[in-house]
Amino acid sequence: MGVLSGNPKDEPMHYGEIFGVWAASVAARGAVSCYQTYLNHAGDKDLKKILNDLIDQAKLEIKELDTLLSDNGIPSAPIMPDKPPVKLEDIPAGAKFSDPEIAAKIAVDTSAGLVACSQAMAQSIREDIGALFAKYHLTKAALGLKILKLNKEKGWLIPPPLQIKRPESEK
């Protein structure tokens, strides 16, 4: 079979895989930076726990993705500096994100991450890269469920219009 047989780690990455891995690493860097800021703004302890889980996951992804890039001779994006902790009461009211705003944004981010992982899995021909994004997909799905439950329990979920009564079908 040639170059695409044997150990997937010995196979070359195609351009789509390279871009997908590099873009995921950049996205994870942005998530760490953004979620550290949200952590400074968050007041709810359950929301802070989820933010810390998201930060830990993003840092793991950066490490694994950058290793994959490095192993294939591809430079990764520069690392962003960590955000220093700030006391919640030091943030002016007009400049502060509210807990429901933060929860909505991380829900959207997690949903977009699921789509990105699905796309990366679908375009991968190297099994190890597809499996890596499948692992991230599973983790993001679990975190997304936690975020959904948090939003429901706290009364922060803003659902789309609900169909309470269905129109009668014409016969």
pLDDT per residue as tens digits for the range 29-56: 999 999 999 999 999 999 999 999 999 9
pLDDT at 171: 58
The pLDDT value given to residue 121: 97
Q: Residue 129 and residue 141: Cα distance in Å, rounded? A: 18
Contact between 142 and 56 (Cβ < 8 Å): no
- Are the C-beta atoms of residues 119 and 136 closer than 8 Å to each other? no
CA torsion, points 58, 61, 66, 69, in degrees to nearest 10? -140
DSSP state of 89: G
Cβ of 69: how many Cβ atoms within 10 Å?
Answer: 18
pLDDT value at position 1?
Answer: 47
- Which residue reads 């997909």 in tokens? 137
Q: What are the tens digits of pLDDT across the range 79-137?
A: 889 999 999 999 998 999 999 999 999 999 999 999 999 999 999 999 999 999 999 99
| Half-sphere CA count of 13, side-chain side, radius 13 A | 21
pLDDT reported for residue 168 = 78
Helical packing angle, 99-123 and 15-41, nearest 10°: 170
Prediction pTM value: 0.90
